[in-house]
Amino acid sequence: MEKTALVLVAFSLAVAMAMPLVHSTIGDPKEVDEWLHKIRLAKQKMTRFHFYYHDIQNVSSMKVAQASITDKSPTLFGLTNMMDDPLTEGPELTSKQVGRAQGLYGLSGLNEFSLLVVMNLAFTSGEYNRSTLTILGRYESAQLTIQEMPIVGGSGVFRLAHGIASGRTYSRNATSGNAVVEFNIVAIHY
C-alpha cells in the first residue's frame, strides 16, 4: 500500500510538473498529489451498500457484438451487451434510484452461462453523488446462488477503493432476458 502510494505520488508529481495548472480542482494532478499525501496518515473506512440492478433488454442494455458461433452456442458464447442500467433501493424499478451501472458484460463461458462483467457503478444520490466504484469480475447468470465479484477501484469518495460485490439474481425472465440482481457491496476506501 505504502509503496503503491509512493509510486502514485511520484507519478502525479511528474504529471504536475509536466502540465502546470492555473488553479486546482478535483482530479487535477496537484489536488490528487495533496490527497495522496493526506491519506498516508488516514485510516481506511468501510462502506456498505445494498441495492438492486435492473438489466432491461433494448431499453437500458443492448447487444453490441457477438461471435461467429454465438447463434449456435448453447451458452450464447461471445454475446456482448453495453448497459446503462438503473440501480434502485428496492427490487421494483419504480423505487428510488441511487445510481447507474454503466459498462458491459460478455458471455465468456463455452459450457456455462458465465459473464465477464466490467462496469462502473456511478452513484447519483446523497454524499456519493458523482462518485464511482468499478467492478471487474465473473458472474454466472443462470445460478441463483450469491456470486462474488471484485471491486477494483473507484473515484470521488471511493478513490483507491477495493472491495467485494456480492450479487444474487433476484428475478429473471428467460424469454426477454431481463434480470434484477440484488447487490450487497462492501467497499474499503479512505
Residue whose C-alpha cell is 433501493: 89
- Least Cβ distance, residue 130 to ligand NAG (angstroms): 5
* Axis crossing angle, helix 29-39 with helix 2-18, rounded to the nearest 10: 160
175 contributes a contact to ligand NAG by CB under 6 A: yes
Residue nearer to ligand NAG on the CB measure, 91 or 177: 177
> What is the nearest approach in angstroms of ligand NAG to the Cβ of residue 62?
8
Minimum distance of ligand NAG from residue 40's CB (angstroms): 29
SS3 95: coil
In eight-state DSSP terms, residue 71 is T
Count CA within 13 A, CB hemisphere, residue 70.
Answer: 13
| String marking each residue 19-58 x if it binds ligand NAG according to CB under 6 A | --------------------------------------xx
Three-state SS for 14?
helix
Quickly tell me which residue has 441495492 as its cell.
51
Q: Which residue of 44, 95, 125, 143 would you call a contact of ligand NAG, by CB under 6 A?
A: 125
Interface ranges with ligand NAG (CB under 6 A): 57-58, 124-125, 129-130, 173, 175-177
